[in-house]
Amino acid sequence: MTALKNDRFLRALLKQPVDVTPIWMMRQAGRYLPEYRATRAKAGGFMDLCMNQELACEVTLQPLERYPLDAAILFSDILTIPDAMGLGLYFETGEGPRFKKIVDTPEAIDALPIPDPEQDLGYVMDAVKTIRRELNGRVPLIGFSGSPWTLATYMVEGGSSKDFRKSKAFMYDQPEAMHRLLDKLAQSVTSYLNQQILSGAQAVQIFDSWGGSLSSAAYLEFSLAYMKKIVDGLIREHEGRQVPVILFTKGGGLWLESMAETGVEALGLDWTCDIGSARARVGDKVALQGNMDPSALYASPAAIRKEVERILASYGHGSGHVFNLGHGITPEVKPENAGAFIDAVHELSAKYHQ
């Protein structure tokens, strides 16, 4: 494989020295870019875009053509695994993702297959291989998956939810059945991420989008325990390099110490968590990723720079910080504001690495 020309993202995840703080953005290939909207329209639909390796590669690389980002992230969706389990993923305009089949009984859980990542999710692996080839060592490629709890909420609810009433009721009423579902999902995510690594992903992130909706006891039992199981089963070295793992629980600031004990290299932080306080709490155990409020990108470039400086100062000197938003970039952000954000991180962070 081609040698990496820019490896500061991987170095920062391993807390090795870097020249400037690396940056990438969650959802960096997305609707805020006019070129993305054009490619998606050409594809015909969101899943058509995900399943076309050439177009998935095209949109993955689009933000790198515009901005000096330090990593690319695979263009895909967290719901590929439930879809491969036969639930029939589709997207309703204005409603988000939906499933044709709902998993809301112990019998439905027991009937679920564990997908073969090469056979049932081969289109994702083809995209990883294509993107890695086209990157040609420019920056590392991040693979990802949803967490078991997050995937389970969509499967039980049948789609998005504001209050997770069905999945939480199921968890409290039938904890053993919920554990069986989460265990199947943990096995599926482990093999899925491992196949992404073998196909060319150089770091992986677990997106626990809805873990923060749980009580503290439920988070530890029904979300974190299964992410730990995944981490324990991941390939941690490939192509002669360590493969760092990032764990991101939105709303997870309460549990940073427990999250840091899972064996991951880095924790993603949302914008409600002060990064300086987080660093003090986890010490040198893990690197930290984050965590600017995505809404700050609606402000002026001068205000964006000021917020970048505040976060850099809060983290302080030394490596172990990957700059990111505290959640995905939103569709209404002006592309030039995203550019101002990325430039500010590189320009203002150099003094923290001298």
In this predicted structure, the answer to whether residue 91 has a pLDDT above a threshold of 90 is: no
Residues 100-159: pLDDT tens digits?
A: 999 999 999 999 999 999 999 999 999 999 999 999 999 999 999 999 999 999 999 999
Residues 157/168, Cβ–Cβ less than 8 Å: no
DSSP conformational letter for 83 = I
To the query of whether residue 133 is one of the catalytic residues in this protein, the response is no
- Listed residue (192, 267, 281, 177) closest to 222, CA to CA: 177
Quickly count: other Cβ atoms within 10 Å of residue 280's Cβ.
Answer: 10
State residue 95's pLDDT score. Answer: 72
Residues 59/29, Cβ–Cβ less than 8 Å: yes
In this predicted structure, the answer to whether residue 1 has a pLDDT above a threshold of 70 is: no
85 contact partners, CB below 8 Å, separation of at least 6: 112, 113, 114, 115, 155, 188
- Listed residue (230, 79, 72) closest to 158, CA to CA: 79
To the query of whether residue 37 is one of the catalytic residues in this protein, the response is no
Would you place residue 2 in the very low, low, confident or very high pLDDT band (cuts 50, 70, 90)? confident
Residues 346/11, Cβ–Cβ less than 8 Å: no
213 contact partners, CB below 8 Å, separation of at least 6: 153, 164, 168, 251
To the query of whether residue 305 is one of the catalytic residues in this protein, the response is no
DSSP per-residue codes, 204-242: EEEEETTGGGS-HHHIIIIIIHHHHHHHHHS--EETTEE
Distance CA 218, CA 252 (A): 12
Residues 184-212: pLDDT tens digits?
A: 999 999 999 999 999 999 999 999 999 99
Q: Six-digit token pair at 46?
A: 């969101």
Of the candidates 8, 11, 27, 98, the residue annotated as catalytic is 27
Mark 241-265 as b/e (b = at least 16 C-beta within 10 Å). Answer: eebbbbbbbbbbbebbeebbebebb
State residue 165's pLDDT score. Answer: 96
Q: What residue numbers does the annotated binding site for substrate cover?
A: 27-31, 77, 154, 209, 327
Of the candidates 154, 192, 219, 226, the residue annotated as catalytic is 154
pTM higher than 0.85 for the full model? Answer: yes
**CATH 3.20.20.210 is the classification of domain 8-353:** yes
To the query of whether residue 180 is one of the catalytic residues in this protein, the response is no
Residues 14-56: pLDDT tens digits?
A: 999 999 999 999 999 999 999 999 999 999 988 999 999 999 9
Distance CA 333, CA 303 (A): 14
Q: What residue numbers does the annotated binding site cover?
A: 27-31, 77, 154, 209, 327
CA-CA-CA-CA dihedral for 211, 216, 221, 227, to nearest 10: 40
Of the candidates 40, 66, 180, 281, the residue annotated as catalytic is 40
Of the candidates 37, 77, 123, 298, the residue annotated as catalytic is 77
Residues 282-330: pLDDT tens digits?
A: 999 999 999 999 999 999 999 999 999 999 999 999 999 999 999 999 9
Residue ranges per structural domain of the chain: 8-353
Would you place residue 239 in the very low, low, confident or very high pLDDT band (cuts 50, 70, 90)? very high
pLDDT average, residue stretch 51-74: 98
Beta bridge partner(s), residue 249: 208
